[in-house]
Amino acid sequence: MERLAALRQQLQAENREAILITNPINVAYLSGFTGTAGMLFITEDKAALMTDFRYLEQAAQQAPAYEVVDVAGDSWKRLAELLHTVGCSMLAVEADHLTVDTYNKINAAVDGITVQPIISPVVRLRAVKSAAEIAAIESAQKIADEAFTEILSIIKPGVRERDIALELEFIMRKKGASGLSFTMIVGSGSRSALPHGVASDKVVAAGDAVVLDFGCIVDGYCSDMTRTVFVSKVSDKQRRIYEFVLEAQQTALAGLRAGMSGREGDALARDVLVKAGLGDYFGHGLGHGVGREIHEAPRLSVSSQDTLQPKMVVTVEPGVYLPGEFGVRIEDMVVVEENGIRNLTASTKELICL
């Protein structure tokens, strides 16, 4: 109910009569309903969960604060009926989720009612986490940390990237994860220079850098971490790049705090790499919010004007990628606090050579 009340406050502040929530992640966040077919119709006085016959009982159990409405095979007709019943002249919709086709269908069905596509206000609500949400994220990160420790014995010359990824997933699921936060990244050798190089059939070789970027889901919330390890030997160049990336990350971890913009947070790490002559090889932002989805608000990047607030959970993940050679990324997940951060990631960042 607190989340529903917070959304209504936002709608009132923006002078919006009604909103249709169609993003399944936002539906679950606001109502608790986890079915694959459901929408929320919300006004100042009405909260309805629109679904079909398959989910009527589940909806009533999971979303007791909402009136369950059977769409009876025609969602948009039922939506129009609801709008006319409550006397709305305007309906806000989630522009950051709807397809053009769905938007057109809504417009056609609610003849005479203005449809306003807006960036979902739920995005802003989800950015600041509750204590229960942070606890779930922390549990997911604990599993990821434990899995990292265990996977180190598997990484050696002759092992495929794909086998490392499969073993990591098995370890995390065995420890209680319900799934992966995202398609796992395991990149070795020159493939470690691919920021999103998902696991392939490449075989790990002596001298390779191996980037492991992974996370899991616990109670609907994601974890996210990256570590870079080396196999059999470490060249002077690899060691030097690793130390610069680690310095950049530690500088950001020491400087991040509530009140700064995402751009200012990004600059903490980026300035270190630019000074080292590596700025051109750090092509993505410093981090992003994590919650029910692996990428949420806020963003830490050169263009971000998001303001960091207490209880936001963000990643801190500088990286350097040398095409055709190797890459290094180090990523922790942290909770923003008034005067700094609390790091949820426990895995060592000492250079590891296996």
85 against 266, higher pLDDT: 266
Residue 90, domain member (yes or no): yes
H helix or E strand, kind and range, residue 122:
helix 122-127
21, pLDDT greater than 90: yes
Give me the pLDDT at residue 1, please: 80
In a domain, 195, yes or no: yes
E-strand spans in the chain?
Answer: 18-21, 39-43, 47-51, 67-70, 90-94, 114-118, 179-180, 185-188, 209-214, 216-218, 221-222, 225-230, 287-289, 296-300, 313-316, 319-322, 326-329, 332-337, 340-343
pLDDT-derived band at 73 (thresholds 50, 70, 90) equals: confident
pLDDT tens-digit series, residues 88-143: 999 999 999 999 999 999 999 998 899 999 999 999 999 999 999 999 999 999 99
- Could you tell me the residue range of the domain that residue 281 belongs to? 128-343
Instruction: Pull the structure tokens for residue 175.
Output: 């420890």
User: What pLDDT score does 44 carry?
Assistant: 94
What is the torsion angle, in degrees rounded to the nearest 10, for the CA atoms of residue 184, residue 189, residue 193 and residue 194?
Answer: -40
Helix pair 131-151, 161-174: axis angle to 10 deg: 130
Amino acid at site 115: V
Query: Can you tell me whether residue 86 is helix, strand or coil?
Result: helix
Residues 283 and 297 in one domain: yes
Rounded to 10°, the helix 75-86/100-109 angle is 50
Average pLDDT estimate for 222-237: 98
- Domain finish residue from 92, 126, 160: 126
- Angle, vertex CA 126, rays to CA 25 and CA 169, nearest 5: 55
Residue 69 pLDDT class (50, 70, 90 cuts): very high
Number of domains in the chain: 2
**Residue 156 reports pLDDT greater than 90:** yes
- The domain boundary, picked from 126, 149, 181, lies at 126
Residues 69 and 152 placed together within one structural domain of the fold? no
- Mean of pLDDT values over 66-77: 93
Q: Which of 79, 100, 126 is the last residue of a domain?
A: 126
211 lies in the same domain as 301: yes
Across 152-180, average pLDDT: 98
CATH number at residue 213: 3.90.230.10
DSSP letter assigned to residue 193: G
Q: 222 and 152, same structural domain?
A: yes
Q: Would residue 350 count as lying in a domain?
A: no
Q: How far apart are CA 261 and CA 59, in angstroms?
A: 39
Find tokens 């305007």 and name the residue.
90
pLDDT tens track for 309-334: 999 999 999 999 999 999 999 999 99
Residue 348 lies inside a defined structural domain of this protein:
no
pLDDT of residue 160: 98
